[in-house]
Amino acid sequence: MNGRATLIASALEARLRAHAPYSHFLVGAALEAADGRVFTGCNVESASYGLTICAERTALFKAISEGARGFARIAIAAESPSLTPPCGACRQVLRDHCAELEVILCNPRGESKVFQLSELFPHPFHDQMLS
């Protein structure tokens, strides 16, 4: 497994590749698969805001498209006055693919905090509700 510091550095670097001409809110994510591979993503905005995709889902979809299944942790980097957790849509999609995921929130000032996804999303909609 990669160290937290390496994952944070990858998320901070991915943040610099964000395409955010409307919000100017740059976010990067680095997702560590169970096999140790790391997949990065950044937010990509559209003039039609509903078509924008967050950094967390970009990283997850890249990982899945490369055959990764099972994830250990994700680092999410944004420059804001407080550490920025994933939005509701990202929490749901992350939960769909890994119920027990370590979530590391960080920023360029060196601040970070670790959560479990279940702390951030305590009552998710999940596959067992579909039967």
List 13, 32, 45, 56, catalytic entry: 56
Position 99 scores a pLDDT of 87
Section 82-106 average pLDDT: 96
Separation of CA 48 from chain center? 22
Query: Does the model's pTM come out above 0.85?
Result: yes
- CATH of the domain spanning 4-130, picked from 3.20.20.70, 3.40.140.10, 3.40.50.300, 3.10.28.10: 3.40.140.10
List all residues 6 or more positions away from 130 whose beta carbon is below 8 Å from its beta carbon.
none
The yes-or-no answer on residue 79 being catalytic is no
Question: pLDDT digit string (tens) for 27-86?
Answer: 999 999 999 999 999 999 999 999 999 999 999 999 999 999 999 999 999 989 899 999
| Alpha carbon distance 35, 126 (integer Å) | 24
Listing DSSP states for 73-108 in one string gives: EEEEEE-SSS--PPPHHHHHHHHHH-SS-EEEEE-T
CB 42 within 8 A of CB 29: yes
